[in-house]
Chain A
Amino acid sequence: MNVKLRVWRQKNSETEGSFENYEARDLNPNMSFLEMLDVVNEDLTNDGSEPIAFAHDCREGICGTCSCMIDGKPHGPETGVATCQTYMRSFKDGDTITVEPFKANAFPIVKDLVTDRKAFDKIQRSGGFVSVRTGAAPDANAIPIGKDIADLAMDAAACIGCGACVAACKNSSAMLFVSAKAGQLNLLPQGQPEKDTRVLNMVATMDEAGFGNCTNQYECSAACPKLISEEFISKLNRDYMSASVKKLFKAKAL
């Protein structure tokens, strides 16, 4: 099969970008989208042009590096997969495919299709952890955790940090990411002591980073390669307001 590509090319974060057109010929429908880009890049290199920069690594949908906006949807037309798990059979012979990087002010473009998502790391640093010293942990079975809670925490923990939620949201809100990260720990008994400070700090950092606000449209959840539920956003809202109220009225040690 053959497809035409409209690819966003941008030299670096300082310069303006624009679309370039390419043709990808003689493709095997069982090729992954990134393998198709490999082929295009190989041709570009052989022609003496500069290949398209795109983020990728594990190519099995778990590292969260790949991040293309394909025909207006993060990670391409299929549901519940990352860009690396999108295959050419999802397109028709002769299609024109528009490929853009994930865009948000909090995610500056590094080059071409590569976006810098360090803002997520910042959020994580402000509270996405349980403070436990290495070696200070009690026996793993000391605290039983019901299977339903463990499974729900696992649903949240499935987040691969790719940023598709931000890319899909018309407001570039990071609520699904933050809610998944905070939600996982807030659900588990291990996360309880720091639950309130966790949500307050993570939300404050998220707000500072320049993400937009959630307008409850759930595009994030629909675009998420792990289909993380917007229910965690609801939980984050609840946890945040209760933490705020508690902060106002809670007794404090001297």
Chain B
Amino acid sequence: MILDSKIPEGPLAEKWKNHIARGKLVNPSNKRKYEIIIVGSGLAGASAAATLGELGYSVKCFSFHDSPRRAHSIAAQGGINAAKNYQNDGDSVYRLFYDTIKGGDYRSREANVHRLAEVSMNIIDQCVAQGVPFAREYGGTLSNRSFGGAQVSRTFYARGQTGQQLLLGAYSALSRQIGLGTVEMFCNQEMLELVVVNGEAKGIITRNVNTGQIQRHSAHAVVLGTGGYGNVFNLSTYARNSNATAAWRAYRKGAAFANPCYTQIHPTCIPVSGDYQSKLTLMSESLRNDGRIWAPKKLGDKRPPNEIPEKERDYYLERKYPSFGNLAPRDISSRAAKEACDEGRGVGETGLGVYLDFSDAIERLGEETIRERYGNLFAIYKEITNESAYETPMRIYPAVHYTMGGLWVDYDLMSNLPGLFVMGEANFSDHGANRLGASALMQGLADGYFVLPNTIPHYLADVPREAAPSIDGPEFAVAELEVRDRTNKLLDNNGTKSVKSFHKRLGEIMWNYCGMARTKEGLEKALELIPQLREEFRKDVRVPGEGKELNQSLEQAGRVADFLELGELMCRDALAREESCGGHFRVEHQYPDGEAMRDDESFAHVAAWEFKGEDKVPERHVEPLEYEETKFTTRSYK
């Protein structure tokens, strides 16, 4: 397998401009002759579908939801970064680029990240023109807030629901194109297989989740904007239906999967309250501006927090990282919380939680100020836990929040499988080993609005202008048969255990052995346990109901079956990466003070895995990362 990143020549800041200027184009009158399938209607999918439709291509967009607007991009709270420098605080494209590279712990491509920083400004312009109601100052100009990992204020936001507003902007642009007939929208259609014709991606097989109908769709190119795979962990901040099936099917058809072990664990989520829990809810990072994180010094201290005297509290972030204190980056804060709980100093019923205490801030600033700043977050906390954070400290615990890994793509966002493009969280490209806050929305929209529409012609220009391959071709027939087989096998399995029970067990294995801290032994253990669980799943899963109507157990079963394979790949990747970087922390690789120890000699590369067959060991390929502009430095927050 050749992993050619196709990074353009020239100085870093000129690469993107030159690439657009010199790339091949498709004649406007020929564009409609090219059919493009876009799977997913989140920020990346909707913005790409709208833009490509507007350019004149014949676009088909697929979503398993009843409406494109429900994609999980909608749940992002905090904001979106852009190097506008509206605050006159020294921001620039270079600074956003640099912060993102450093935040990613030097494991992302310089050229991609620089491009992201460049187009970040166009995104804000575009969204404002669409009517996205960003927060504004009294004078009518846009307002900004600060986010972790940056020393400037460059985050644009719309109350606590920036993701929803940006998605609705992209959805409105998509709706307009659907109304104009340039995009055909397929709702309630889940992609279950990728069709490869002569080594190139030329179609997909979908199942209508409401009717069970299996359909073939062909095109000149297939674009995936299907999101991340954090639901491997079962409990996460992902939506319940977020899944990796589309990406996993592409992987099994030959697309390389890059850096699967890079997962982001967000430090401030509401802890698990019981066995029944289906979902973890994020509490914005901004709370750490005024809240102090602590755990009791004594092991197993079950006293209510207000009865634990000051000298028996351990403000461990302030103690370990005096200069950053409670504002230490996500990965570091998460690991510190886990350590405290592992030592037996965790709080709450389950012992998996630490306190985020606002009493000092309330004393200093008054309850009113705190209410103004965080009122809505305190309300969410109250809604979920029935506790008032004004009176008693919040309990928080880290949770899986984002996956930096994904399908490997080159500079044009095309995977190693020609004709298959991957955008947003589904690809691996821009965040390295750790993503900074407010960068996910930026990447999704950058890919959809500005990158893909400029790079897809580079591929299409060489594709003959004749019709897309016939859906009656043998490749489509075989792919459909595979889907039918898998579906029927699940339905006819007549096992004894529910899909959910397997998902939960997989989640536990992943969290314990491939979560915040990973060890060789643990990962090897997981690599034993996961295939066993997968085997048990195949033998003993029970999927009630029929295939020709809405069957949520069946949908979930297909997704969990893929997670059971993907989980193994994640562990394999984590085991192979003998270093600690960003969201990937190997206990064996740390400095004496417990900080992550990167190995730039051996691991300054992208690891991309190639599928070698059912239950066979996949092959690890390497794309070296070359840094022209930036120098490796150790991240220190002391």
Asked whether any CB of A lies within 8 Å of a CB of B in the complex, the reply is: yes
Q: Which residues of chain A have C-beta atoms less than 8 A from B501's C-beta?
A: 42
Q: Which residues of chain A have C-beta atoms less than 8 A from B178's C-beta?
A: 121, 125
A56 at the binding interface (Cβ < 8 Å): yes
A150 at the binding interface (Cβ < 8 Å): yes
In the complex, chain A residues 141-176 whose Cβ is within 8 Å of any chain B Cβ: 141, 143-147, 150-151, 153-154, 157-158, 160-161
By beta carbon, the residue of chain A nearest B140 is A144
Q: Which residues of chain B have C-beta atoms less than 8 A from A85's C-beta?
A: 383-384
Q: Which residues of chain A have C-beta atoms less than 8 A from B239's C-beta?
A: 57-59, 63
By beta carbon, the residue of chain A nearest B274 is A28
Contact of B125 among A59, A110, A140 (CB under 8 A): A140
Choose, from B92-100, B104-112, B156-164, the stretch at the interface: B156-164
Tell me whether A87 and B550 are in contact in the complex, defined as CB-CB below 8 angstroms, given that A125-B179, A129-B176, A134-B450 are known contacts.
Answer: no
Q: Which of A34, A58, A136, A161 gathers most chain B CB within 10 Å?
A: A58
B279 at the binding interface (Cβ < 8 Å): yes
Q: Which residues of chain A have C-beta atoms less than 8 A from B210's C-beta?
A: 110-111, 116
Choose, from A92-100, A185-193, A210-218, A228-236, the stretch at the interface: A185-193
Tell me whether A62 and B161 are in contact in the complex, defined as CB-CB below 8 angstroms, given that A53-B550, A57-B240, A140-B84 are known contacts.
Answer: yes
Shortest C-beta distance, B444 to chain A (Å), equals 14
B129 at the binding interface (Cβ < 8 Å): yes
A120 to B453, CA, bound (A): 28
Q: Which residues of chain A have C-beta atoms less than 8 A from B124's C-beta?
A: 140
Q: Which residues of chain B have C-beta atoms less than 8 A from A39's C-beta?
A: 276
Contact of B66 among A36, A89, A118, A125 (CB under 8 A): A118
A76 at the binding interface (Cβ < 8 Å): no
B624 at the binding interface (Cβ < 8 Å): no
Question: Across the interface, do A144 and B139 meet the contact criterion of CB distance under 8 Å?
Answer: yes
A158 to B376, CA, bound (A): 14
Tell me whether A191 and B140 are in contact in the complex, defined as CB-CB below 8 angstroms, given that A56-B240, A59-B278 are known contacts.
Answer: no
A32 to B281, CA, bound (A): 12
Question: Across the interface, do B68 and A121 meet the contact criterion of CB distance under 8 Å?
Answer: yes
A71 at the binding interface (Cβ < 8 Å): no
By beta carbon, the residue of chain A nearest B275 is A28
B128 at the binding interface (Cβ < 8 Å): yes
Shortest C-beta distance, A14 to chain B (Å), equals 10
Choose, from A1-9, A43-51, A237-245, the stretch at the interface: A43-51
By beta carbon, the residue of chain A nearest B544 is A50
Contact of A63 among B74, B126, B129, B276 (CB under 8 A): B74
Question: Across the interface, do A157 and B74 meet the contact criterion of CB distance under 8 Å?
Answer: no
A64 at the binding interface (Cβ < 8 Å): yes
Q: Which residues of chain B have C-beta atoms less than 8 A from A35's C-beta?
A: 276-278
Question: Across the interface, do B137 and A124 meet the contact criterion of CB distance under 8 Å?
Answer: no
A65 at the binding interface (Cβ < 8 Å): yes
By beta carbon, the residue of chain B nearest A152 is B133
Shortest C-beta distance, A55 to chain B (Å), equals 8
A105 at the binding interface (Cβ < 8 Å): no
Q: Which residues of chain A have C-beta atoms less than 8 A from B273's C-beta?
A: 28, 30
Question: Across the interface, do B240 and A31 meet the contact criterion of CB distance under 8 Å?
Answer: no
A18 at the binding interface (Cβ < 8 Å): no
B69 at the binding interface (Cβ < 8 Å): yes
Q: Which residues of chain B have C-beta atoms less than 8 A from A30's C-beta?
A: 273-274, 384-386
Tell me whether A62 and B164 are in contact in the complex, defined as CB-CB below 8 angstroms, given that A125-B178, A125-B179, A138-B129 are known contacts.
Answer: yes
Do most interface residues of chain A lie in helix, strand or loop, or is the interface mixed? loop
Question: Across the interface, do A49 and B171 meet the contact criterion of CB distance under 8 Å?
Answer: no
B482 at the binding interface (Cβ < 8 Å): no
Question: Across the interface, do B69 and A51 meet the contact criterion of CB distance under 8 Å?
Answer: no
Question: Across the interface, do A137 and B164 meet the contact criterion of CB distance under 8 Å?
Answer: no
Tell me whether A150 and B72 are in contact in the complex, defined as CB-CB below 8 angstroms, given that A46-B498, A134-B450 are known contacts.
Answer: no
Contact of B70 among A64, A146, A153 (CB under 8 A): A64
By beta carbon, the residue of chain B nearest A123 is B175
Shortest C-beta distance, B360 to chain A (Å), equals 28
Question: Across the interface, do B125 and A129 meet the contact criterion of CB distance under 8 Å?
Answer: no
Shortest C-beta distance, B374 to chain A (Å), equals 17
1/0 contact string of A53-81 vs chain B (CB within 8 Å): 10111111011110000000000000001
A56 to B550, CA, bound (A): 14
Q: Which residues of chain A have C-beta atoms less than 8 A from B450's C-beta?
A: 134-135
Shortest C-beta distance, B636 to chain A (Å), equals 34
Contact of A111 among B138, B172, B549 (CB under 8 A): B549
In the complex, chain A residues 83-139 whose Cβ is within 8 Å of any chain B Cβ: 85, 87, 89, 110-111, 114, 116-118, 120-121, 124-126, 128-139
A212 to B65, CA, bound (A): 26
Tell me whether A118 and B128 are in contact in the complex, defined as CB-CB below 8 angstroms, given that A59-B278, A59-B279, A134-B54 are known contacts.
Answer: no
Contact of A117 among B67, B164, B277 (CB under 8 A): B67
Question: Across the interface, do B172 and A128 meet the contact criterion of CB distance under 8 Å?
Answer: yes
Question: Across the interface, do A45 and B126 meet the contact criterion of CB distance under 8 Å?
Answer: no
By beta carbon, the residue of chain B nearest A131 is B176
Instruction: Give the interface size bracket for B toward A.
Output: 35 or more
Shortest C-beta distance, A167 to chain B (Å), equals 15
Question: Across the interface, do A42 and B498 meet the contact criterion of CB distance under 8 Å?
Answer: yes
B542 at the binding interface (Cβ < 8 Å): yes
Tell me whether A63 and B70 are in contact in the complex, defined as CB-CB below 8 angstroms, given that A38-B500, A124-B171, A147-B140 are known contacts.
Answer: yes
Q: Which of A48, A85, A129 gathers most chain B CB within 10 Å?
A: A129
B187 at the binding interface (Cβ < 8 Å): yes
Question: Across the interface, do A31 and B274 meet the contact criterion of CB distance under 8 Å?
Answer: yes
B86 at the binding interface (Cβ < 8 Å): yes
Shortest C-beta distance, A209 to chain B (Å), equals 14
Question: Across the interface, do A121 and B175 meet the contact criterion of CB distance under 8 Å?
Answer: yes
A12 at the binding interface (Cβ < 8 Å): yes
Question: Across the interface, do B544 and A116 meet the contact criterion of CB distance under 8 Å?
Answer: no
Contact of A154 among B66, B125, B133 (CB under 8 A): B133
B362 at the binding interface (Cβ < 8 Å): no
Question: Across the interface, do A184 and B133 meet the contact criterion of CB distance under 8 Å?
Answer: yes
1/0 contact string of B110-133 vs chain A (CB within 8 Å): 000000000000101111111111
Tell me whether A128 and B65 are in contact in the complex, defined as CB-CB below 8 angstroms, given that A30-B385, A137-B126, A150-B136 are known contacts.
Answer: no
A246 at the binding interface (Cβ < 8 Å): no
A25 at the binding interface (Cβ < 8 Å): no
Question: Across the interface, do A134 and B240 meet the contact criterion of CB distance under 8 Å?
Answer: no
Question: Across the interface, do B86 and A141 meet the contact criterion of CB distance under 8 Å?
Answer: yes
A45 to B498, CA, bound (A): 7
Contact of A188 among B50, B133, B135, B158 (CB under 8 A): B133
Shortest C-beta distance, A135 to chain B (Å), equals 7
Shortest C-beta distance, B159 to chain A (Å), equals 6
Shortest C-beta distance, A225 to chain B (Å), equals 12
Question: Across the interface, do B276 and A28 meet the contact criterion of CB distance under 8 Å?
Answer: yes
Question: Across the interface, do A130 and B279 meet the contact criterion of CB distance under 8 Å?
Answer: no
Question: Across the interface, do B133 and A58 meet the contact criterion of CB distance under 8 Å?
Answer: no
Tell me whether A65 and B125 are in contact in the complex, defined as CB-CB below 8 angstroms, given that A28-B276, A38-B276, A140-B84 are known contacts.
Answer: no
A247 at the binding interface (Cβ < 8 Å): no
B561 at the binding interface (Cβ < 8 Å): no
A56 to B239, CA, bound (A): 9
Question: Across the interface, do A158 and B161 meet the contact criterion of CB distance under 8 Å?
Answer: yes
Tell me whether A110 and B550 are in contact in the complex, defined as CB-CB below 8 angstroms, given that A140-B142, A147-B136 are known contacts.
Answer: yes
Question: Across the interface, do A144 and B141 meet the contact criterion of CB distance under 8 Å?
Answer: yes
Shortest C-beta distance, A97 to chain B (Å), equals 17
Question: Across the interface, do A45 and B544 meet the contact criterion of CB distance under 8 Å?
Answer: yes
Q: Which residues of chain B have C-beta atoms less than 8 A from A57's C-beta?
A: 65, 70, 72, 239-241
Q: Which residues of chain B have C-beta atoms less than 8 A from A136's C-beta?
A: 129
Q: A48-B544, A57-B70, A132-B126 are in contact. List 4 more A-B contacts (CB 8 A).
A: A12-B550, A58-B74, A130-B131, A190-B130
Sample (7) of A-B pairs whose CB atoms are under 8 Å apart: A28-B274, A55-B66, A58-B74, A117-B67, A141-B142, A151-B133, A161-B67
- Counting from the closest, the 7 A-B pairs by CB-CB distance are A144-B140, A137-B129, A129-B172, A125-B179, A137-B125, A59-B279, A154-B133
Which residues of A does B touch, CB under 8 Å? Answer: 11-12, 28-32, 34-36, 38-39, 42, 44-46, 48-51, 53, 55-60, 62-65, 81, 85, 87, 89, 110-111, 114, 116-118, 120-121, 124-126, 128-141, 143-147, 150-151, 153-154, 157-158, 160-161, 184-185, 188, 190-191
